[in-house]
Structure 1
């Protein structure tokens, strides 16, 4: 279809936003719009500058016969700060406290606009890493996992506490819950992960990290690799977490005597700044 540049820019922008982390050959756009590759390159330069100025993401150009352009979703530190401030405000109601030190988050995780923003934030942290799959534990982590996966264009792998006949043969491991110190079970279908896959673990809430540690061990059983770990809310405790090198969006502190809770930013913005510094250095 032959389009004017203004229409071409709109259509091309929409296409890139819907196909993150996919290498699109310039010839595809050239054929799609019946335009010369030189014109397509100029269009992509305009889109690239707009994405970066608006903090939407980055366009990565790959040279060579198999090259093209790839859209990497990103969220700037300023936008991330605004999102975290909004989430903190909504989650500091003492009525969210549940028995056992847990937090009611179903309403937050049920709002697509918030979940999608959280997913874009997590995906932007790992935008420069190779991610082959997103893993989470049933059930409340599933919306977050799909939000991240949609930004990374990779499948979601859901770990369950018991096997289902519809999933075929499974791999099962026992793990120790970090908070209750009880032995629990997690299972994953054998077809879920390929050997050498790089897996990003995403979860909604972490107390001591026992579930995260269990998923790490489960990934090793498949001969795969943990590419990173991200959690929406972690409980701020004196006790040592069972996992390291994870990204958290928010930290929860509870004053049990007063039945009050406090929410503060996690380490995600600091992690983003360090990654930006690494890119600038390179």
Structure 2
């Protein structure tokens, strides 16, 4: 195999297996190449990834070592993408009753969702996540996008139990914005005890739903390592029950009377 062909094959494999440790013997045997040639190829790939601002290769020394592809977004790309999202969300036609914004078109666009997933995965790359958890339904595409870049499974918390999921654990929680008692459930088989969890949600007002997920995950003795939300509402800050989270966007002002919306960068850069 020519070097150019090998570089393409190795790059494709690494991108398809993020955060997975790949031993050098795997590449040498797969492409019938010397270890020194493979090492040179990996150096070229790593340099190109970093110049493009899409990731890096992490080398793990030792007999059981190898190389990992760690996806990330450069600061410049992240800022440009978030600013473009904020611009799109400031369209007054997105304004819904209750101060909510219509975001289904963005959450239905594969490229947008993929970029959001890469942003969160960049920020949470060092947390050694075992599983991404979200609540049905709008957070599901975001959770799968983040999980794809972290190379971990997704667990979905639901409002009602499903017969096909077997026995479940359920809790009641108080919704932060409406102050209503609600229920959420999680199948017993869906999460291992002591798992390191990343919570992803699309929108947060007071944080009651995320706080409910935390309480539910406590029943599994899971560790909530990080929390990511696509957009947060600024006006609920005094009553917010969650404070350790990362947001991409912050909705600073929703003026229903004048049909105006202000959307800015969230706290991800702070």
How high is the TM-score relative to the length of structure 1? Answer: 0.93
CA distance in 1, matches of 2:223, 2:202: 21
Cα displacement (A) at 1:269: 2.2
Tell me the SS of whatever aligns to 1:104. Answer: coil
**Per-residue deviation at 1:239?**
2.6
What is the TM-score when the length of structure 2 is the normalising length?
0.97
Superposition pairs for residues 9-20 of structure 1, below 5 Å? 9-20=7-18
Q: Residue 245 of structure 1: CA displacement?
A: 1.4
Moved more, 230-239 or 153-162: 230-239
Which runs of 5 or more structure 2 residues have no equivalent in the other structure? none
CA deviations on 1:232-254 (whole Å, 9 max, x unpaired) are 01111153311111000001121
Deviation at 1:86, TM superposition (A): 1.2
Secondary structure in structure 2 of the residue aligned to 1:87:
helix
Q: What is aligned with 1:131?
A: 129
Paired residues, what number? 268
Whole-Å Cα distance in 1 between the matches of residues 171 and 100 of structure 2?
25
Offset, 1:94: 1.4
The 2-side partners of 1:269 and 1:12 are apart by: 32
SS in 2 for 1:128: helix
RMSD: 0.9
Partner residue of 1:173 out of 171, 174, 196: 171
Shift of 1:36: 0.8
Give distance in 1, aligned partners of 2:177 and 2:110.
30
Could you tell me which residue of structure 1 aligns to residue 240 of structure 2? 241
CA apart distance, 1:256:
3.1
| Conserved? CA contact 1:173–1:186, under 8 Å | yes
Equivalent-residue separation in structure 2 for 1:159 and 1:29 (angstroms): 39
Give the equivalent residue in structure 1 for 2:267.
Answer: 267
Structure-1 residue corresponding to 2:258: 258
Could you tell me whether the CA contact under 8 Å between 1:24 and 1:70 is conserved in 2? yes
SS in structure 2 of the partner of residue 148 of structure 1: helix
Tell me, which stretches of 5 or more residues in structure 1 are unaligned? 271-282
Deviation at 1:88, TM superposition (A): 1.1
Q: Distance in 1 between matches of 2:260 and 2:227?
A: 28
Contact kept in structure 1, 2:95 and 2:256, CA below 8 Å: no
1:78 aligned residue (76, 88, 100) = 76
Give the C-alpha shift of residue 184 in structure 1.
0.5
Residue 141 of structure 2 aligns with which residue? 143
SS of residue paired to 2:261: strand
1:277 alignment counterpart: none
Runs of 4+ in 1 over 3 A off after TM superposition: none
State the distance in 2 between where 1:171 and 1:102 align.
30
Aligned counterparts of 2:239 and 2:35: Cα–Cα separation in 1: 56
Indicate the larger mover: 139-148 or 253-262: 253-262
Q: Distance in 2 between matches of 1:72 and 1:232?
A: 22
What displacement does 1:190 show? 0.5
